[in-house]
Chain A
Amino acid sequence: MNENILEVEHLTQHFRLGRKEVVHAVDDVSFCIRRGQTLGLVGESGCGKSSCARSIIRVYDPTGGTILLDGTDITHMSQKQLQPLRRKMQMVFQDPYSSLNARMTVRDIIAEPLLAHHVVKNREQANSFVYPMLERVGLTREHADRYAHEFSGGQRQRVGIARALVLQPELVICDEPISALDVSIQAQVVNLLRDYQQEKGLAYLFIAHDLSMVRYVSDVVGVMYLGQLVELCGAEEIYSHPLHPYTQGLLSAIPVANPALARQKKSGGVAGDLPSPVTPPAGCRFHTRCPFAKPICSQEAPCMKEAAPGHSVACHLYD
Chain B
Amino acid sequence: MQTMENKWEMLEQTSESREKIWSRNRTFAADVWFRLCRKPTAVAGLLMILLFMLFALVGPFLTSYSYSDQSLEMVNIPPVMKVYDVGSCRVYITPSLKLIRVDENGSLTGMLPVVRYEHEKSMTIFDCDGKEVALYYGRSVYVVCDEATGNIYPAGHIWNHDHLLGTDALGRDILARLMYGTRVSLMVAFVSVLVNLVIGILYGGISGFLGGMVDAVMMRIVDIISTIPLTLYVILIMMVFGQGLQSIIIALGLVYWVDMARVVRGQVLSLKQQEFVLAARTIGSSSRTILLQHLIPNAMGSILVTATMLIPSAIFMEAFLGYLGIGLRPPLASLGTMCNDANANLRTSPHELLIPALVICLIMFAFNFLGDGMRDALDPKLKK
Contact = CB atoms under 8 A, between A and B. Distances in A.
A59 B21 CA distance: 34
Contacts of A150: 21, 23
**Most A Cβ at <10 Å: residue of B274, B275, B285:** B275
A317 to B, nearest CB: 39
A94 B278 CA distance: 12
B373 to A, nearest CB: 20
A117 interface: yes
Contacts of A139: 19
A299 interface: no
Contacts of B297: 101, 103-104
A193 B25 CA distance: 29
A124 to B, nearest CB: 17
Interface stretch (A140-148, A222-230, A255-263, A281-289): A140-148
Contacts of A59: 278, 281-282
A93 B278 contact: yes
B19 A98 contact: no
B284 A95 contact: no
B21 A163 contact: no
B16 interface: yes
Interface residues of A, number: 39
A116 interface: yes
A104 B298 CA distance: 10
B293 A138 contact: no
Interface string A172-183: 000000000000
B293 A104 contact: yes
Contacts of B279: 91, 93, 99-100, 160, 163
A112 interface: yes
B276 interface: yes
Contacts, number: 79
B298 A86 contact: no
B286 interface: yes
Interface residues of B, number: 27
Contacts of A160: 279
B286 A116 contact: yes
A117 B23 CA distance: 34
A102 B19 contact: no
B300 A103 contact: yes
B281 A113 contact: no
A151 interface: yes
A90 B278 CA distance: 11
B44 interface: no
Nearest to B381: A149
Interface string B281-297: 11111100100011001
A102 B284 contact: no
Contacts of B23: 150
Given A101-B298, A103-B297, A104-B293, A86 B16 contact: no
18 contacts: A57-B282, A87-B284, A90-B283, A99-B275, A99-B278, A101-B276, A101-B293, A101-B298, A102-B298, A103-B297, A112-B285, A116-B283, A138-B15, A138-B19, A139-B19, A150-B21, A150-B23, A163-B279
Interface of A: 54, 57, 59, 82-84, 86-87, 89-91, 93-95, 98-104, 112-113, 116-117, 138-140, 142-143, 145-147, 149-151, 155, 160, 163
